[in-house]
Amino acid sequence: MNVRKQHIHLEVDTDDDPQVSATSARQRSEPSPAALRSLGVATPDVEMEQDRIGESLAAIWGLGGAELARWRRIIANSGVESRRAVMPLEEIVGMGTRDRMEAYEQLAPALAARAAATALDRAGLRADDITDLIVVSCTGFSAPGVDIELVRRLGLRLDVRRTIVGFMGCFGAISGLRTARAACAAEPGAAALVVCIELCSLHLRDDAAIDNQVASALFADGAAAAVVTGVDCNVSDGEEHDGAIGRLTTGAGRIIPEGADWMTWRITDAGFAMTLTRDVPPAIRDHIGEFLAQEDAGAGSMRSCIVHPGGPGVLDAVESALVLPSCAALDAARDTLRRHGNMSSATILFVLDEALRRGCESPHTLLAFGPGLSMERLTIL
């Protein structure tokens, strides 16, 4: 099927609807109540080359002949060259869900704290300046959880308001940023810390089914954090960025109902099982133009599209469907996938951090996908 590329300028024509036009005018004239001040990213210390992972998993699964050849093609076409994990993969495969969750409880807080400490330092904030803590994760459960551990490890206030954004998948960071924006809108002096922590490797399973092979070729471990502040929050400029990165819009979401079974994340007795079918990239290609064209009023023209690299097929779908102003941000997504793999919710903040290093200009539109099939976006002005 031939798909016409769409030029996206992210401006909404509301002249035919006076009520929408009036609302849009107010949004354009009113400043956003929250600013993204800084980012911080962290990965585990143990780095593994993709080819070695491929051979190790082939041995674990007992692949041979045509099955082995197919698996090697999956690895070769994954767009990943290296990944990081908190434990040797060979130790994870035979674990039950209880042992995997115990490992998550022990290993996730330290990695999350590293990313959070970097974000705080770059924002010029002390730990006791944080009024709201939002933890995003879909790869582990415990109570007391990572949020409580971050209070202890970072020295956050004991009365910090805590929120968990759980099991939402790869677009969880956007939900976390939206939650932080809401906190800062409600209290202009607020400072929110968003922490995404994902240990995807803990769900490596002894299952040679094609869905599990695709997931096992892509997912990895990582943490990313962001500091969001209200308009009345007094902070000094961070060392990494000159003042705020930008002001946050509310963003938007879209569910593609026919894709409910195309991307799933379910708990089994041997870890969490991912389903990722071939239907996902074509669905993204077919729907992404319309979704972005309905961007937030007042966002203006998009300078960079910060795309979650769910896999090379997802990035190819976005690139084939849109004529973007610059490919620099898409290059940042491909490079993040190449060096780190898919770290679920944390990945989009890695891509944004890399795009900023490359000098990509704002507005930045964050775009991610998750179970449902769902699309989420949020623009940084």
- What positions carry a catalytic annotation? 170
- Alpha carbon distance 221, 55 (integer Å): 19
Contacts of 45 (CB under 8 A, 6+ apart): 84
- In the chain the beta strands, taken as DSSP E runs, fall at 6-7, 34-42, 47-49, 82-84, 132-137, 161-166, 191-199, 221-230, 246-247, 252-255, 263-268, 271-276, 304-307, 322-323, 364-370, 374-380
C-alpha distances in angstroms, 63 versus 72, 91, 202, 208? Answer: 10, 19, 21, 8
Phi-psi group of 300: left, alpha or beta (phi > 0 → left; psi -120 to 50 → alpha; rest → beta): left
C-alpha distances in angstroms, 98 versus 90, 103, 107, 297? Answer: 17, 9, 14, 46
Q: Which long-range contacts (CB under 8 A, 24 or more apart) does 276-282 make?
A: 276/211, 276/214, 276/215, 276/310, 276/311, 277/211, 278/313, 280/310, 280/313, 280/314, 280/369, 280/373, 281/311, 281/313, 281/314, 281/316, 281/317, 282/317
- Alpha carbon distance 172, 150 (integer Å): 18
Q: Which two tokens stand for residue 210?
A: 């094609």
Angle between helices 312-321 and 328-340 (to 10 degrees): 170
